[in-house]
Amino acid sequence: MSDRQIIDSSASRKGIRHPVVSTADSHSHLIQAADVGKTFPGGHSVLAGLSLSIREGEFVSLVGPSGCGKSTLLKLLAGFDDATSGTLTIAEQPPDIARKTSHRVGFVFQDANLLPWRTVRGNLQLPMELQQVSSENRPAHIDEMLELIGLTAADANKYPRMLSGGMRMRVSLGRALMTQPQILLLDEPFGALDDILRQQLNEELSRIWQEQNWTGLFVTHNVSEAVFLSQRILVMSTAPGKIVAEIPVPFPFPRTPELRADSDFARLTGEVTTRLRGRL
């Protein structure tokens, strides 16, 4: 995969988010899918009849059985591939057009995918190089990002091999955020981490989402993670995947670690799990 596939280079946008309590607002539907299907060569159908709408500024999680097309959907939205059938749009435009003209899309992969020959600072600098940001402005932007993702100036000079798994994912997230995305697609980025670190990064990701003005679509197999992060959870069927349930998450933001011990949190986690088990 090329550097340019990993980092989109359209126009920038900044914004600050106030805590969101409900999705029942006047925000427009930024992402829309209508009867989307994806069939790979050889006739293997991964998606069929998938429809969804995501409002601008929402944080939505996708859960579903392995192989149901969750990651495929993210790749279609990122412009890495095209749907076989149906309509998929960002701001009423095909994803490849929207990414080039109006909406930057960031992507955080399951693996950090850092460039091993570059330091943390060098990896964070990559998006600015592709955007041809003036070299004199880069250090300040990188310092701001290091603070945002919880890394130090000393960490900035380390190479990926010197970092823990959690630190590598922080850098991967920071690199995607350096593009100042309107949409951030996250493909199970914390799946390989231990539970305590995963919870910590969930809390930090939620904080960043509340501070910045992007729309999040998050793929995970961890139901508790989906409930903690999301305003809505979309449950997918077995392949060929489609949306079979939509579950709102009513807890207000900001969400604290104590929420995980709340009985309502446990009850909703159980409801999502039951819906998901019905699709295995």
Report domain extents, the chain.
28-104+182-280, 115-180
Q: pLDDT category, 100, cuts 50, 70, 90?
A: confident
Nearest C-alpha neighbor of 227 from the set 260, 200, 197? 260
Q: What's the CA gap between 250 and 77, in Å, rounded?
A: 27
Per-residue tokens: 75: 């790749």
The 3-class SS string of 79-112 reads CCCCCCEEEEEECCECHHHHHHHCCCEEEECCCC
How does residue 8 score in pLDDT terms, banded at 50, 70 and 90?
very low
At the fourth CATH level, the homologous superfamily of domain 28-104+182-280 is P-loop containing nucleotide triphosphate hydrolases (3.40.50.300)
Q: How long a stretch of residues is the chain?
A: 280
| pLDDT tens readout for residues 187-213 | 999 998 999 999 999 999 999 999 998
Spatial contact of 50 and 33, defined as CB atoms under 8 Å apart: yes
Note the pLDDT tens digit of each residue in 123-180.
999 988 887 777 777 888 899 999 999 999 999 999 999 999 999 999 999 999 998 8
Residue 24, CA distances (Å) to 28, 82, 97, 133, 248 in order = 11, 31, 28, 38, 11
**pTM of the predicted model as reported, rounded to 2 decimal places:** 0.87
User: How many angstroms separate the CA atoms of 145 and 121, rounded?
Assistant: 10
- Band (pLDDT 50/70/90 cuts) for residue 279 is low
For the cut 80, the answer to whether the pLDDT of residue 25 exceeds it is no
Cβ proximity of 83 and 240 under 8 Å: no
Report the DSSP pairing between strands 243-248 and 232-236. Answer: antiparallel
